[in-house]
Amino acid sequence: MPLNSIIMPYKQNCKVEGEIITRFKIAKLYFAEKKKQREIAEHIQCHHNTVNNIIRECKLFGSEEVSYYLRGEKRLSGSQLELFNFLKSDSRRPKSNKRCLAEAAEDLILEKHNELNYGPRRMFKHLGRQGYDTQNTYTRAKIKGVYKRNNLQIKKVRTVNGNRRPLYNYEQLGAFEELQYDTKEIPDQKSLPEDIYQKFKYSKELPKYQWTITDAKTKIRFLAWSYTLNSSFGFWFLEFVVCWLRAHNIRVRIHTQIDGGLEFCSGSKRKLQIWNDKLAKYNVEVYDTEGIKWKQNLIERGHRTDDEEFYCPRGEFIDTKSDFLVEGQHWIIYQNHRSNDGIGLNGLSPKEKLDQLGFYNAEDICNFPCLILEDFFNPFQLFFNVQKSQNVLTPYQQTSILPSISPALTISFLILKISQGRLDTPSSSR
């Protein structure tokens, strides 16, 4: 093989013929043509160490078959060229980087992204809240790097024309002017692991339904639970939340949005009017979404958060009613005090947003009590004669709920019972 078999410089010949063929020809010039290394390097315009490395690799990794092709005159076929794959240069990509995550940590983010469809900022918060980041391994910059390297995109649901229209005018909306009200069934096969699903499904101590009221402006959530669903509970819990707000000096007109479920008005306009007539004394109006799910966007998204961050991680620690009351109270307080990326909050917590709006008692409003509705709203018993009720602060049965609850809760119950005519006002007692 003549020396001028490589007529281009080394780098250019690698681009045209390929790196393996170019290096094979260099090795053959040395082994078959007995050319000197510096002579080869000068001719193909490369450093003599490049030629030296090629020859060394052929001596280290070459077999008898490789030596036969290097020293002989026989031409190589495509399949035979694979014998010289060891001549291909190693990747110059760094093996590791202190600014990048380890392979196992990156695989976890890829798995979580496929499962949850979270963005980098929300993924950072999720890993911290779920206990994956015990050693402060995950930072926002490293997570963003994983998204960039793997070209991860968030799947979004768009309208036909691509426009996004918020449900409320959040700039002009006041706190507690718009509430969303809905329920969810706790034992949901699509949301819970099998063991937790079985526990909530068949345990007689644990409630089966969650009642949720969410404020559109601040994203404050008021939660309660029950063993059964009925429209009486639906009305009483809404009335109690309204009394809670009024007891904390909230005087705005409250609009409450519900769906057409059986636990509310069942889609009946006559029943909806009855609710509005009874709630008019609180300056409250209730209206129906008529089954349009996207109008309940805030509360429906909250149901998913309940499953992923409360029932799934904490369900294994809940075995009795006392356990549930304690965990439920912690969950209410945690939800109302953690940062939120919802529209209008920009990373503030609901409590911080309420402070920003000028409410001096934001902490008290957010510390809503954990209620199981059967304990407090029983149509067959009077309010002060409720038996076997249990409070979140006491793990034992007690005969009266009033001594162990906050003054605001007592005032809320008093307002509620006076409005229902179950207690005599001072004027009527005279």
With b meaning 16 or more CB within 10 Å and e meaning fewer, what string describes 133-162? beeeebeeebbbbbbeeeebeeeeeeeeee
Who's near 417: CB < 8 A, 6+ residues apart? 383, 423
Residues in the chain where the model's pLDDT stays below 70: 1-4, 73-74, 78, 95, 157-159, 161-165, 291, 342-344, 378-430
- The Cα 242–Cα 239 span in angstroms is 5
What confidence score (pLDDT) does residue 288 get?
Answer: 87
Query: 229 near 183, Cβ under 8 Å?
Result: yes
Question: How many Cβ atoms sit within 10 Å of the Cβ of residue 394?
Answer: 13
- The pairing of beta strand 209-215 with beta strand 178-185: antiparallel
Query: 6 near 26, Cβ under 8 Å?
Result: yes
What confidence score (pLDDT) does residue 406 get?
Answer: 54
- List the end-to-end C-alpha distance of the chain, in Å, as a whole number: 123
Question: How many Cβ atoms sit within 10 Å of the Cβ of residue 239?
Answer: 21
Query: What residue ranges do the domains of the chain occupy?
Result: 3-87, 103-149, 178-419
Kindly give the residue spans of alpha helices, DSSP state H, lying in 150-228: 194-202
Q: How far is CA 40 from CA 8, 61, 132, 207, in A?
A: 12, 21, 56, 83
Q: How far is CA 72 from CA 1, 96, 295, 352, 405, in A?
A: 10, 42, 79, 81, 96
Who's near 184: CB < 8 A, 6+ residues apart? 209, 210, 212, 303, 306
- The pairing of beta strand 254-258 with beta strand 284-288: parallel
Kind plus residue range of the DSSP H or E element containing 288: strand 284-288
What confidence score (pLDDT) does residue 409 get?
Answer: 61
Query: 117 near 155, Cβ under 8 Å?
Result: yes
Residue 283: both structure tokens together? 């300056």
- The Cα 126–Cα 115 span in angstroms is 12
Query: 87 near 124, Cβ under 8 Å?
Result: no
Give the residue among 403, 322, 412 at the shortest CA–CA distance from 365. 412
pTM of the entire predicted model: 0.61
What confidence score (pLDDT) does residue 184 get?
Answer: 92
Sign of the CA dihedral with 45 first, then 50, 51, and 54 last: negative
pLDDT in tens, 99-112: 788 888 888 899 98
Averaged pLDDT of the chain: 80
Q: Please give the single-letter amino acid code of residue 244.
A: W
**CATH classification number, 178-419, choose in 3.40.30.10, 3.40.50.300, 3.30.420.10, 2.40.50.100:** 3.30.420.10
